Structure 1
Amino acid sequence: MMTTPEDLTPDLARAARALTQVSARVIGRAAGLEKQQVRAFEKGKEPLAADQLRHLRRALEEHGVVFIPDDDQGGCGVRRKFNSSKVRRLETWEGEGGPAYEDDI
């Protein structure tokens, strides 16, 4: 059952980052890790310490994923925090101001 950040596995981290559509560099920066550490962990080549796993999981969650624990229906997994309808609304709200330009003042 995936209930703690230490249960974050390389394949779940890789799947979560794929869902966020965010680079290893961005997730790494948010987690206080180097891009190479994120990629090596996702490939199962380099383990991370418990505090690093906590930071990585929190960064992934802040970028819009939810980790799903094991239950009677199936194994652990990851999904987007928001459904596609909500994502479209968020993108619309973010784009309402138009492109940002330099201020002449």
Structure 2
Amino acid sequence: MTPEQCRMARAALNLGVREVAKLASVSTNTITRLERGEQLKGSTVQAIRAALEEAGIEFIPDNGSGPGVRLKKSRSGS
């Protein structure tokens, strides 16, 4: 997960730094550091990514146009 993907995911979910930090069980400073591009432990980044995925984000790998995010389809198909 890139810093940009984290910011895009938060925006798509309309979540603030505090909310994502709570979901991932990390400090708000950790989310801010990630979004600034600072190096974090892999396990920390994975915890943040997992929390965002659980909240409804799907991460899109770089397909030549850069990595991205999208909202997962709802289970009801809408």
TM over 0.5: yes
Q: CA RMSD in A?
A: 1.9
Structure 1 residue 70: deviation in Å? 2.2
Moved over 6 A (4+): none
* Normalised TM-score (structure 2): 0.82
Structure 1 residue 28: deviation in Å? 0.8
Task: Identify which of structures 1 and 2 has the higher relative contact order when contacts are C-alpha pairs closer than 8 Å and 6+ apart.
Answer: 2
Q: Identity rate of aligned residues, in percent?
A: 36
Unpaired runs of at least 5, structure 2: none
Query: Larger Rg: 1 or 2?
Result: 1
**Corresponding residue pairs, total:** 76
* Normalised TM-score (structure 1): 0.63
Cα deviation 1:40-97 (Å, max 9, x = unaligned): 21122x321000011000011111110011236x3221111137x83xxxxxxxxxxx
- 1:88-103 to structure 2, matched below 5 A, reads none
Equivalent position of 2:68 in the other structure? 77
In structure 2, how many angstroms separate the alpha carbons of the residues matched to 1:67 and 1:26?
19
Unpaired runs of at least 5, structure 1: 1-7, 87-105
Cα deviation 1:12-51 (Å, max 9, x = unaligned): 111111111112112111212101210221122x321000
Equivalent position of 2:39 in the other structure? 47
